[in-house]
Amino acid sequence: MEQYSYYDKLIDQTPDVFCILRGQGQIIYCGSSSRKLLGYDPEAIVGRNALRYLHPAERHQARLRHSVLLAYPGNRVTADYRVLDAHGEYRWMECIFNNMLNLPQIDGILVQLRDVTDRKNFELQLEESEERFRIFMNNAPTVSMIKDEEGRLVFVNANFERSFRVLSKDALGMTLGELFPNGYWAESEENDRIVLNFGKSVEFFERTITPDGVEREWIVYKFPVPQSNGKTFIGCSAMDITKWSSLDRERVTAEQKFKTIFEYSPDPIFIENEDGIIIDANRKACELQGMNYPELVGKRITDLAPPDRHEELWSDFSKLWNGQLSRIDSYSWSTSGQVIPVAISTARIQHMDQPCLLLALRER
Per-residue model confidence as pLDDT tens digits over 218-266: 889 999 999 888 899 999 999 988 877 565 667 767 777 777 788 888 8
pLDDT-derived band at 113, boundaries 50, 70, 90 = very high
| Distance, CA of 123 to CA of 129 (rounded, Å) | 10
- pLDDT value at 3 more than 90: no
Predicted pLDDT of residue 217: 86
| Residue 278, beta-bridge partner list | 272
Q: Give the three-state DSSP class for 239.
A: strand
| Distance, CA of 252 to CA of 250 (rounded, Å) | 5
Provide the 8-state DSSP code for 267.
S
Predicted pLDDT of residue 200: 82
**CB neighbours of 189 closer than 8 A, spacing ≥ 6?**
151, 177
Tell me if the pTM is above 0.75.
no
In 3D space, the residue among 228, 140, 214 whose CA is nearest the CA of residue 182 turns out to be: 214
Region of 331 (left: φ > 0; alpha: ψ -120 to 50; beta: rest) is beta
Q: 41: how many CB neighbours lie within 10 A of its CB?
A: 12
What proportions of the chain, in percent to the nearest 5, are helix, strand and coil? 35, 30, 30
90: burial class by Cβ within 10 Å (0-12, 13-18, 19+)?
middle
| Distance, CA of 4 to CA of 14 (rounded, Å) | 16
- pLDDT value at 143 more than 90: yes
